[in-house]
């Protein structure tokens, strides 16, 4: 059918198959590491109550896309923020607009999927317990992905609000709830998914050889300096260290760029990743436009197969 395919939030989410998405994200992360993905540094227009970010990118073989996303404080939830917008996918050969889809679903699902890819690549063998820190949108997405892909490994949800932590834990067959510190202590993997403006993690709580994944901290550092200092650092792109926020990570500012290894070099086998059982590995995610391209490509292909969405002539 001709025209632009328009997908609402439910249709976008229904088209994000986890396994297909993991494959596409791997392609994108490897392309970032090899320098074959084209993506200018993220820019944002600041408004009194939030920002509007613009993120275009091209990944050979996946497509050409741009995300427009607003990040504003959520007045109904103190300390939390909303991420709303659209992703537009274009044909990489002739530039035709192909689809417009919900950016909130794309961002949440691909962020959780990327953190899971990093966990699979870097976590200690036989990890027996996973901590998910946070009770908001991203923590919910991360827990849901763990429940679908690995429902037998115990998970502890750590949150400041015990009621919200218990409610989220009920979504996973092997999950319990605890304080943030209680969830971290004794866990082999710690996935930080908060809207923190200051560190929620303390190095002293971490088990030897733990893996830490951090996808939050858009407005401030989610990880404490000691964890960053002691850990082997992994990122989606070098700009996580060299670019100032909001493009780069608050925690990595001023760190030597050579300390950070790109995740794509592990996924393509050119870097060993974890070198010994006692090593602390830290994956700091800032997101990258190439990952939105990967997700948008999966959404478009899957939606067409399922006959989802509405075609509009522009």
Residue located via tokens 């522009």:
314
- Domain 4-106+289-312 shares a fold with domain 120-284: no
CATH of domain 4-106+289-312: 3.30.1780.10
- Residues 256, 229 contacting (CB under 8 angstroms): no
State residue 145's pLDDT score: 97
For the chain, give every domain's residue range. 4-106+289-312, 120-284
What tens-digit pLDDT sequence spans the chain (314 residues)? 678 999 999 999 999 999 999 999 999 999 999 999 999 987 889 999 888 989 999 999 999 999 999 988 776 666 566 778 999 999 999 999 999 999 999 999 999 999 999 999 999 999 999 999 999 999 999 999 999 999 999 999 999 999 999 999 999 999 999 999 999 999 999 999 998 889 999 999 999 999 999 998 778 999 999 999 999 999 999 999 999 987 899 999 999 999 999 999 999 999 999 999 999 999 999 999 999 999 999 999 999 999 999 999 98
Cα-to-chain-centroid distance, residue 166:
23
CATH of domain 120-284: 3.40.50.720
Q: What is the pLDDT of residue 217?
A: 76
Residue that the structure tokens 């849901």 belong to: 144
């Amino acid at each position: 059918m001709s025209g632009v395919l328009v997908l609402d939030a439910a249709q976008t989410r229904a088209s994000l198959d986890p396994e297909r998405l993991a494959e596409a994200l791997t392609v994108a992360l490897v392309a970032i590491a090899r320098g074959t993905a084209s993506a200018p540094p993220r820019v944002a227009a600041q408004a009194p109550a939030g920002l509007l970010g613009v993120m275009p990118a091209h990944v050979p073989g996946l497509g050409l896309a741009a995300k427009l996303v607003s990040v504003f404080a959520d007045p109904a939830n103190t300390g939390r923020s909303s991420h709303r917008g659209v992703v537009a996918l274009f044909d990489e050969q002739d530039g035709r607009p192909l689809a417009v889809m919900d950016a909130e679903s794309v961002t949440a699902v691909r962020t959780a999927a990327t953190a899971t890819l990093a966990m699979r690549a870097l976590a200690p063998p036989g990890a027996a317990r996973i901590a998910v820190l946070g009770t908001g949108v991203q923590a919910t997405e991360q827990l849901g992905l763990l429940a679908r892909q690995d429902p037998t490994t115990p998970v502890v949800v750590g949150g400041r609000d015990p009621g919200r932590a218990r409610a989220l834990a009920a979504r996973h067959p092997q999950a319990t709830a605890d304080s943030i510190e209680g969830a971290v202590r004794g866990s082999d993997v710690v996935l930080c998914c908060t809207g923190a403006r200051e560190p929620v993690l303390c190095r002293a709580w971490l088990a030897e050889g733990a893996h830490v994944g951090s996808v939050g901290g858009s407005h401030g550092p989610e990880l404490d300096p000691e964890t960053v200092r002691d850990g082997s650092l992994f990122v989606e792109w070098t700009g996580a260290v060299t670019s100032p926020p909001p493009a780069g990570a608050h925690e990595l500012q001023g760190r030597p760029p050579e300390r950070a290894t790109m995740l794509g070099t592990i996924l393509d086998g050119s870097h060993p990743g974890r070198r010994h059982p006692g090593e602390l590995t830290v994956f700091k995610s800032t997101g990258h436009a190439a990952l939105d391209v990967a997700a948008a490509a999966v959404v478009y292909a899957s939606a067409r197969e399922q006959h989802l969405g509405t075609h509009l002539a522009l």
